[in-house]
Structure 1
């Protein structure tokens, strides 16, 4: 693997023309309006869901899916899926390339993201993450037990938790080694017998004539600049979500074995695969 793909070798950002800014407005304003309206609707519905259903969310996830599907339509990015979605209780693990992953993974499957605690403090994004049921985790060892308990309660409630085991986003052309720490929650005696894990591969295809890493967002890239670049693109590419067969956690002797299996499966689905 080339170790210089990170922020030291960020690709040159395309210059945005006047027509590009016009495209950004025509795509961005409707996306902002739909997201804001649906977020407010979701918050209102949660006032009903929370006291009646507790951790279960029978209605609001459909709003999230609508927003995510609308986003790809408004952006002009082709979206497709392959494979069967997991029906069992458990978790989903995927490679992480961009903020677009959030839309791609939510568009067809009802999931709940697991994110670092700092995300909860991000302007706008943190509010959206909290509203959609994101599980926030701290990196302090002292919180490990508490986090396992949170994971277990959410898994037992039937929530499908989404992890990015690479621990960071990439250029979308490779899969980094999966960190096995979070996989430990799947082996707790209370959940291991009924927990399944589904590896998922996200494949991005850049617009014609652009760098293959066009949709990748990593290192020191500014979110605002990258978001504007995607909004302003004259031509758009595509994203494909590949659902690999789910596997039961009980079939693996350790979290490291499960993490290695999932990493290899996600890697095998990447097009084109890189070593």
Structure 2
């Protein structure tokens, strides 16, 4: 994981006004209810799914996908999907701009996120992440071998893991260089010949006339103010999730070449969206 990106000054503080607070109340309440209903279905279903299918989750990820799609609709943020999520075994990698990426990527297909271990302890968010099968990893090179084993176990169980190789979020206007460390796991003998990596570009388009960094969340920006700002918008923009051709791990000589190929595809897709 890299250090937090803080290359741009965040937008100025905002005052939502009466109508803004009304939109926050209506949209926020609707999203909370959707998430609560989703958990009320997902958690009991997981109690059945776990002993029958073990680590593989054939049912509950579809609940997550529906919840995220409905949440985006409540926000008013339009989701546009281009390309097709791969059906073959493997993992996905994407650029990272915002907490909204979680909703956009979950709404577009069935994935299991890879996240820094600190997220597991965040109030509310940590519980949601654990409930949806997030794989937590530590920012410690001494944990690399154990983390590679966790990757291998999940992938062999049929899960499609998704991680952000930039290691940090940005203002949404750029793609940072990909870190190659996590790509090493895909070169394990049991995985290399069987897996593909699918690059995914996530591009946000702000409402007409708004700051193009509207949906970016980076540096020291707090989550709550950014959430309120997003919910308060009178007009919303759109997010484009573009799936690119999968890259066969066996066709790459090493993790650095694989990371570079995935970065090139994501960067091109981000620029063209």
TM-score range, shorter chain: over 0.9
DSSP 3-state at the match of 1:93: strand
Task: Tell me the distance in 1 between the aligned counterparts of 2:152 and 2:272.
Answer: 36
The match for 2:46 is 46
Equivalence for 1:223: 223
- Structure 2 unaligned runs (5+)? none
Which residue is equivalent to 1:174? 174
After superposition, the Cα gap between the structure-2 partners of 1:272 and 1:212, relative to the gap in structure 1 and judged at 3 Å, is farther
Report deviation, 1:58: 1.1
Shift of 1:272: 5.9
Q: Deviation string for 1:36-91 (max 9, x for gaps)?
A: 12113211111111111100111101110110110111011111111121111110
Alignment of 1:61-76 (within 5 A): 61-76=61-76
Take 1:245 and 1:141, find their aligned partners in 2: how far apart are those partners? 31
Q: Which residue of 2 aligns with 1:125?
A: 125
1:271 CA displacement: 3.5
Q: 2:57 — aligned with what? A: 57
2:191 counterpart residue number: 191
- What's the RMSD between the two structures over aligned residues? 1.2
Q: Is the 8 A contact 2:96 2:170 kept in 1?
A: yes
What does residue 211 of structure 1 align with?
211
Q: Determine the C-alpha separation between the residues in 2 that align with 1:14 and 1:64.
A: 31
Residue in 2 that maps onto 1:18 = 18
Q: Is the 8 A contact 2:108 2:241 kept in 1?
A: no
State the distance in 2 between where 1:129 and 1:199 align.
Answer: 22
Preserved CA contact (<8 Å) 1:173 1:272: no
* 1:136-163 CA distance string (max 9 Å, x none): 0012222111111110011111110001
| 1:1-275 superposed matches below 5 A | 6=6, 9-271=9-271
Distance in 2, matches of 1:261 and 1:69, equals 30
| Cα distance in 1 between the residues matched to 2:217 and 2:94 | 15
> Does the 8 Å contact 1:7/1:220 carry over to 2?
no
SS at match of 2:52: helix
